[in-house]
Amino acid sequence: MGNRFSRVVVNLLVLLGGASGQENGPPSPGVSPGPGLSAVTAKSVEGASKQPWRYLLYLPQRYVQHPEEKLPLLLFLHGSSGRGQDLERLKRYGPPARLKDEVDFPMAMVAPQLPAGAWETSSVLELLDEVVASFRMDPDRIYLTGVSLGGQGAWGIAARAPERFAAMAPVCGFGDLQSAARLRNLPIWAFHGALDEIVPLAPHQELVEAVNRAGGSARLTIFEQGDHGDILVPVYGRKTGSRLYTWLLRQRRNQPSQGWTEEERLERLPGPGAPPPVALPQSPASAPVSSSEPGEFWDLLFRWIDGLNAPASLPPSLPPSPMPDGTQTEGASVP
């Protein structure tokens, strides 16, 4: 009872903190070629608002040092607390939090920001086309990941255009069971906390199992003591997230994947801190980087959470559930 009460208090504090954040003005449309994170305004527009996409772009030192090289690209879709006009919100968790102070990450990253609402597939793919055309990105090594609202967005976008991606890693998401067969050729590693009360585990697990029944290769890692927010550090952070990034870098579009064995398709870990560190190469075939994670405390403290009134369980495909202000809850529809 005490642990449950503590989780609710922390979640409420985070929710209130996120809701009271001030919105900054639009970022400069200019972007330096790296290294590091840059704020970019795109030419392509977000579907609902019809406004130009605004996004964070990460380019490693290799982009400058090796102008002949095309880089792998990680497309990250945030959760509902990342929506708005302040790109700083996206740096609170996930890959942007890790990459704030890193210049040797072995892939580029693009993290678009939704002004409001849900991820709309066609406009995200248009933005992806623009990024690949504007920067030296390898179209055969594009990796898709997202959290909660972004996790459901990742499932939907991958189902719409599975041929665009080399692999997908949705976190605390869910999707339409009817899309499982379309994803059978896409390597998938999904993550979820067993104690997640915002987006329950069961529909996500059912979707992963449906992909495997359709002949696909999908893995689900369940953090037995993890909730909706505290699994983000072990999934994406420096100490333990390299497991995911190393696996992603092995995947290439239109090339046979080794796939997950029957035993590997379901991984259960006791808690958010359980995965062992894995050395992440500075390039797809280079040396490891440091495993320190000074930002993990703040990454966890500022973990986002909304939709506290989400239902206890979710059907495989749920229509949008508008909040009084017109937004949508994290647990209902696409957070």
CATH code for the domain in which residue 61 is found: 3.40.50.1820
* pTM for the whole structure: 0.75
In this predicted structure, the answer to whether residue 155 has a pLDDT above a threshold of 60 is yes
Residue 252 in this model has a pLDDT that exceeds 60: yes
- Asked whether residue 252 is assigned to any structural domain, the reply reads yes
pLDDT higher than threshold 90 for residue 3 = no
pLDDT of amino acid 290: 33
The answer to whether residue 314 is domain-embedded is no
Q: What is the reported pLDDT for 22? A: 35
Is residue 307 one of the residues assigned to a domain? no
Give the pLDDT score at 305.
Answer: 29
Of 10-19, 86-95, 238-247, the range with the highest mean pLDDT is 86-95
Owning domain of residue 119: 30-301
Task: Quote the pLDDT of residue 280.
Answer: 52
Residue 3 lies in a domain: no
pLDDT tens digits for range 12-61: 333 333 333 333 333 344 455 568 999 999 999 988 888 999 999 999 99
Whether 8 is in a domain gets the answer: no
Average confidence (pLDDT) over 139-164: 97
Q: Above 70 in pLDDT, residue 164?
A: yes
**Per-residue model confidence (pLDDT) at position 29:** 40
Mean pLDDT of the 300-311 span: 32
Over its C-alpha atoms, the chain yields an Rg (Å, rounded) of 18
Number of domains in the chain: 1
Residues 6+ apart with CB under 8 A from 54: 26, 27, 39, 40, 41, 42, 85, 87, 112, 113
- 66 in a structural domain: yes
User: Averaged over 104-114, what is the pLDDT?
Assistant: 95
Cα(318)–Cα(321) distance, rounded to whole angstroms? 8
Q: What one-character-per-residue DSSP string does 286-320 give?
A: S-B-----TTHHHHHHT-----TT--SS--SS---
Is 5 part of a structural domain of the chain? no
| 15 located within any domain | no
pLDDT at 79: 95
% of the chain beyond a pLDDT of 90: 62
The pLDDT assigned to 18 comes to: 37
Which helix (H) or strand (E) is 158 found in, with range?
Answer: helix 149-160
More confident residue, 275 or 220: 220
